[in-house]
Amino acid sequence: MTENGFTKTEQLKGLIEQLSAYIATYHGGEVEYVSFDGKVVKVRLGGACIGCPHTPVTIKGWVEGTVRQFFPEVESVEAVE
């Protein structure tokens, strides 16, 4: 548990849900939390993100960048099928 009563996993899920809401509203895609092993966060993309040529930038540049601002111990964010 953390000082606010939420586990790190719950906090990560919440952050990714917020990112997904933004992506859904403005881009028609979605990002879903899959797992966290202490170093790597795995997510699944959906909606307009599937097949989009900007997916690598979305994952590495935007989702990973945002996650690492709040969780610097996260080494990377990876998309899974």
pLDDT in tens, 33-68: 999 999 999 999 999 999 999 999 999 989 999 999
Please state the φ and ψ torsions of residue 56, each to the nearest 5 degrees. Answer: -60, -35
What is the predicted pLDDT for the residue at 4? 72
pTM: 0.88
Please compute Rg for the chain using Cα positions: 12
Domains of the chain by residue range:
8-79
Please state which architecture CATH assigns to domain 8-79.
2-Layer Sandwich (3.30)
SS (HEC) of the chain: CCCCCCCHHHHHHHHHHHHHHHHHHHHCEEEEEEEECCCEEEEEEEECCCCCCCHHHHHHHHHHHHHHHHCCCCCEEEECC
